[in-house]
Each structure stands twice: as structure tokens, then as C-alpha cells.
Amino acid sequence: MSVIKEVEVIPLRIPFVRPFKLSRGYVGRPGQPGEHIYVKLVTSDGEVGWGEARPMHTWMYETMESVYTSIKRYLAPILIGKEPYDLSRIHEEMDKVLTPVVSSGQPFAKSAVDIALHDLIGKLVGLPLHRLIGGKTRDYVEMSALISGDPESISEYAREMLRKGFRCFKLKIMGDVDEDCKCIRALRDSIGDGGQIWLDANQAYSSLRLAWLLKEIKDVGNIICIEQPVPTTDFHGLRRIARMSPIPIAVDESLFSHYDLLKLITMEALDALVLKVAKSGIRNSLKIYYLAEAGGIDCLGSGMTESGVGFTASIHLYSVVKMVAPVDTNGPQFLSDLLVRGIEIEGPRVKVPDKPGLGIKVDESKIEEYRVTLEI
Ligand SMILES: [Mg+2]
């Protein structure tokens, strides 16, 4: 019997090669590295499973310190002595010790553990992660390009990514109608009719100001959705927007679990949702996905500038479930290093790994290079 005997929690800071700004500020830029937590599970027979959290406290309440202590002090003791196959029991116990009262109860920490367990299970049974959750429906997952900045830098970067073969462009908008219009038009002019535009406001608008924006951009024909226009607390604003907007409305920060989705479906407050392994892990993403299917809600896939572990877990999930647009798994665009070997990326296409578990090899010398000590 293969049981978990060691849980290592590793805080890392990985440099950014280009700035990434959203409406709530920078999540990383050159000189301001991204914060990551790697989880390493070791079994009694020496197998290793890897997970990753990418805490981003300006986006969601978990910090690098809280993810570290949540896993080390509260989740790790649950894992010790258990078989990785005991996913249901482990999740039940994780929800008992970190109660899902607000959101899913430290979801980033739990997601890192969930990824590591899936990696382990795959390695133990000799199957790639995607086959554990239904099997891939395609060999490659197509990515979109994530863009933020001023109109000039948006144009320049959009053209560069268009040349590389990207056809969907996710633009961060900041909540200022005039400035956002300039950015949207700069992107539209750079990519022409051929590219899709996916807008993400990260909670920056109210329903009134979004109505003003919609009026200004009504001639821009290739916008596939506006993601998370209003604050997570504004469910009624979201519903008003979904009812009046000619552009479909997607939710991200308002939705971490299938419980959140049930509420949003009941309120008729969304047209699409954004899956993220970083916020829901593999197991809870699947729960969300199948409820969405029953509710007639389409899914988009996104990421949190994770490095190789979180990125690859996302690629496995997005190869199995239906996605309505190229996915926004943006780590490779922004990080100086993904810390793993075995990821094959060509332009916007990522090959779905077929080796057991995540199907990649974590470079432990890189872990040492980026490891930091937390003062707690
Ligand atoms: Mg988003």
C-alpha cells in the first residue's frame, strides 16, 4: 500500500519578464516577482506528487504566508498516512478543518494539494492526469494572449502575438470608460476582424458605468465576452448587466465552487464562467463544469500566471472539458522560468502531456534557485 509519508511546502518567488497589470494593480512585473507555493508529496514507496498554488492577494484573500501555513499546519496532517486515491475523504477532511464559510475556505491551498494528489495517483497507476478525469478530447490546447497596458504597448504586443499565431486576445480593462475604449480600439485595430477579443474587468465597473462602456463599444464586433465586470458582492448588478448586455457576461471572481454556480444560474446572472485550476483544483473544477453543462452555461479556461505545475494541471483539465475559446493559461507569457521540463509549446498551442500524472519533470535545482524563506 502506497501512503503519503512526507508533505513539503515550498514558497518561491519567480521573476516576471513583462508587466502584468489588472484593475486592482500589478500582479507582477520586472523587479516584482510572482509568489508561488509548491507542494511536494512523497509516498512510502518513494513516488512524488507535485502541486502549485499562485496566491495573489490583490485578486483574492489568500497570501503566500496563508497558503503556506494553511497547508503546513492544517492540511498536511490530514494527508500523512493516507493513500492518494482517498480523494473524497481527503477533501471532506480538508473542508472540515478549513471550513468553506467564506468562498471555499482557503481554496488556493486546497487546490495545490488537489493537484499534487492527482499527480501522484497518475504516477501510481501509470496514467496521465487527463485519463483519470475522462480522457483528453484533443492532443493540443490552444491558448489566448493576455494583454494589459496603454494603447501603444497593447498594439505592439497584440501584433507580436498575432504574428506568433495567437487568435484570441484577452484584454485587461481598468474601469475608466474613456481609457478602456482607447485600449479596446487599439487592440481591435491591431488584430483586425480575424482575432477574438475577451475583456476582463476584474470587478472594476458598476452596472451603470458598464452600460456607458457598452454604448461606446457597440461597433466593435469581435468581443466574445466581458469577464467579471462588477465586484464579487454585486450579484444584482451582475444580473442587471447579464440581462441588458449585447456582449455575453462571464464570471470569474464570483465563482469558486459549484455552490456559487448554482446561485448564479438561479439568478440568471451569467452567460459563461471561467474555470481555473488555481481556484478550484481539478476535482472542484469538474463539479463546476458538469453543473454548468446542465445549466447551459459555457466555460472559458484561465490561469493565474502559474509556473509549470499549475500550468500543466490546467492543460490536462482543458483538454478534457469543452472550452468555448482559446484558454488564458498565461504563465509562459510572463514568467522567466516554468521550473519544469517536458512542456511542449509551439506558438499558441500546448501539447497535452501523455506521461503519468502531470507528465512533466519538476527541476528541483530550480526550486532551490527560487525558494524563499518566509517570516511568519
Ligand atoms: Mg479573470
d(CA 339, CA 328): 19
Domain 132-362 CATH superfamily = Enolase-like C-terminal domain (3.20.20.120)
Q: How far is the CA of 197 from the centre of ligand 1 (A)?
A: 14
d(CA 331, CA 95): 29
313-352 CB burial, b ≥16 within 10 A, e <16: bbbbbbbbbebebbbbbbbbbbbebbbbeebebeebebbb
Q: How far is the CA of 247 from the centre of ligand 1 (A)?
A: 16
3-state secondary structure of 52: strand
pLDDT band, residue 376 (cuts 50/70/90): confident
102-126 CB burial, b ≥16 within 10 A, e <16: ebbbbbbbbbbbbbbbbbbbbbbee
Q: How far is the CA of 79 from the centre of ligand 1 (A)?
A: 31
pLDDT band, residue 104 (cuts 50/70/90): confident
Distances (CA, A) of 313 to 152, 189, 193, 358: 34, 34, 32, 6
Predicted pLDDT of residue 101: 86
d(CA 79, CA 202): 34
pLDDT per position as a tens digit, 147-198: 999 999 999 999 999 999 999 999 999 999 999 999 999 999 999 988 999 9
Predicted pLDDT of residue 368: 97
Q: How far is the CA of 327 from the centre of ligand 1 (A)?
A: 12
Q: How far is the CA of 261 from the centre of ligand 1 (A)?
A: 16
Predicted pLDDT of residue 221: 87
Helix/strand/coil percent split, the chain, to 5: 40, 25, 35
Q: How far is the CA of 1 from the centre of ligand 1 (A)?
A: 41
Q: How far is the CA of 250 from the centre of ligand 1 (A)?
A: 9
Average pLDDT over residues 279-293: 98
Q: How far is the CA of 352 from the centre of ligand 1 (A)?
A: 23
Checking if the pLDDT of 102 tops 80, the result is: no
Predicted pLDDT of residue 213: 98
Distances (CA, A) of 216 to 185, 207, 210, 321: 10, 15, 10, 35
Angle at 345 between CA 341 and CA 350, to 5 degrees: 105
Q: Mean pLDDT across the chain, nearest whole number? A: 97
Checking if the pLDDT of 349 tops 80, the result is: yes
Q: How far is the CA of 174 from the centre of ligand 1 (A)?
A: 12
Please give the radius of gyration of the chain, using alpha carbons only, rounded to the nearest integer. Answer: 20
pLDDT band, residue 41 (cuts 50/70/90): very high
**Residues sharing a CB contact under 8 Å with residue 175, sequence separation 6 or more, in sequence order:** 23, 201, 204, 205, 209
| 27/206: higher pLDDT | 206
Burial class (CB in 10 A: 0-12, 13-18, 19+), 24: middle
Predicted pLDDT of residue 185: 97
CA–chain centroid gap for 8, Å, is: 23
Checking if the pLDDT of 365 tops 90, the result is: yes
Q: How far is the CA of 330 from the centre of ligand 1 (A)?
A: 11
Checking if the pLDDT of 294 tops 90, the result is: yes
Angle at 234 between CA 101 and CA 20, to 5 degrees: 90
Predicted pLDDT of residue 363: 98
Predicted pLDDT of residue 193: 86
Eight-state DSSP code of residue 93: H
Burial class (CB in 10 A: 0-12, 13-18, 19+), 309: buried
Q: How far is the CA of 252 from the centre of ligand 1 (A)?
A: 5
Q: How far is the CA of 51 from the centre of ligand 1 (A)?
A: 21
pLDDT band, residue 130 (cuts 50/70/90): very high
Closest CA to 272 of 290, 258, 257, 292: 292
pLDDT band, residue 103 (cuts 50/70/90): confident
Residue 342, Ramachandran bin (φ over 0: left; ψ between -120 and 50: alpha; else beta): left
Give yes or no for a contact between 168 and 195, defined as CB atoms under 8 angstroms apart.
yes
Q: What percent of the chain has pLDDT over 90?
A: 96
Give yes or no for a contact between 364 and 340, defined as CB atoms under 8 angstroms apart.
no
Predicted pLDDT of residue 194: 81
Q: How far is the CA of 328 from the centre of ligand 1 (A)?
A: 9
How do the domains of the chain map onto residue ranges? 4-127+365-370, 132-362
Which fold is adopted by the domain 4-127+365-370? Enolase-like; domain 1 (3.30.390)
**Residues sharing a CB contact under 8 Å with residue 72, sequence separation 6 or more, in sequence order:** 7, 9
Give yes or no for a contact between 283 and 310, defined as CB atoms under 8 angstroms apart.
no
Q: How far is the CA of 219 from the centre of ligand 1 (A)?
A: 24
Average pLDDT over residues 206-224: 96
d(CA 280, CA 272): 16
**Residues sharing a CB contact under 8 Å with residue 364, sequence separation 6 or more, in sequence order:** none
